[in-house]
Structure 1
Amino acid sequence: MPEVDTPPLETARRLAESGDLDGAATIFAELVADPGGPDLAQAAVGLAVVLEERGDVPGSRAAARTALATGHPEFAAQAACLLAGSFEREDLPDQARAAWQAALGTGNPTYVPLAHMALARLATGTEEAERSLRDALATGDPEIASGAAQRLAEILLEEGEAGAAAEVLLEALSVPGVAEASRLRVMLGIVHLELACAEFSGAIEEGCDAETGALAIELLARTLPLRGRDEDAERVWRYGLESPDEDLAGEVRLRLDRDL
Structure 2
Amino acid sequence: MTSSELETPPLDTARRLAERGDLDGAAAILRELAADPDEPDRAQAAVGLAVVLEERGDLEAARAAARTALATGHPEYASQAACHLAQGFEREGRAEQARAAWQAVLGVGAAGYVPLAHLALARLAVRAHDLEEAERELRAAMAGGDGEIAAHAAQELADLLMEHGEPGAAAELLLDALEAAPGDEAPGLRVRLGIAHLELACAEFAETVEGGADAQTSALAIELLARTLPLRGRDDDAGRVWSYGLEHADETLAAEVRLRYQRDT
- Given the two structures, how large is their TM-score scaled by the length of structure 1? 0.84
Unaligned segments of structure 1, at least 5 residues: none
Offset at 1:106?
1.8
- Give the length in aligned residue pairs: 259
Matches within 5 A, 1:16-35: 16-35=18-37
Q: 2:16 maps to which residue?
A: 14
Offset at 1:248?
4.3
Does the C-alpha gap of structure 1 residues 48 and 207 become closer, same or farther in structure 2, counting only changes over 3 Å? same
Partner SS state of residue 204, structure 2: helix
* 1:138 aligns with one of 143, 149, 152: 143
CA contact (8 A) 1:41 1:70 kept: yes
Does the C-alpha gap of structure 1 residues 76 and 250 become closer, same or farther in structure 2, counting only changes over 3 Å? same
Offset at 1:256?
4.4
Matches within 5 A, 1:150-165: 150-165=155-170
Cα distance in 2, alignment partners of residues 59 and 164 from structure 1: 47
Letter in 1 for 2:229: L
Does the C-alpha gap of structure 1 residues 216 and 37 become closer, same or farther in structure 2, counting only changes over 3 Å? same
Let me know the Cα RMSD of the aligned residues.
Answer: 2.8
Cα distance in 2, alignment partners of residues 253 and 91 from structure 1: 52
Unaligned segments of structure 2, at least 5 residues: none
Offset at 1:70?
1.1
Offset at 1:19?
2.4
- Cα displacement string for residues 128-164 of structure 1 (whole angstroms, at most 9, x for unaligned residues): 3333233223335343234333333333222122122
CA contact (8 A) 2:148 2:181 kept: no
Cα distance in 1, alignment partners of residues 238 and 208 from structure 2: 16
Cα distance in 2, alignment partners of residues 220 and 156 from structure 1: 20
Letter in 2 for 1:59: A
CA contact (8 A) 1:142 1:179 kept: no
Matches within 5 A, 1:52-91: 52-91=54-93
Q: 1:125 maps to which residue?
A: 129
Q: 1:169 maps to which residue?
A: 174
Offset at 1:76?
0.6
Deviates more, 1:174-183 or 1:81-90: 174-183
Does the C-alpha gap of structure 1 residues 69 and 182 become closer, same or farther in structure 2, counting only changes over 3 Å? same
CA contact (8 A) 2:151 2:181 kept: no
- Given the two structures, how large is their TM-score scaled by the length of structure 2? 0.82
Q: 1:225 maps to which residue?
A: 230
- Cα displacement string for residues 176-219 of structure 1 (whole angstroms, at most 9, x for unaligned residues): 32555333322321221110111122122223344433333332
Does the C-alpha gap of structure 1 residues 66 and 219 become closer, same or farther in structure 2, counting only changes over 3 Å? same
* 1:197 aligns with one of 186, 196, 202: 202
* 1:44 aligns with one of 46, 52, 65: 46
Does the C-alpha gap of structure 1 residues 46 and 198 become closer, same or farther in structure 2, counting only changes over 3 Å? same
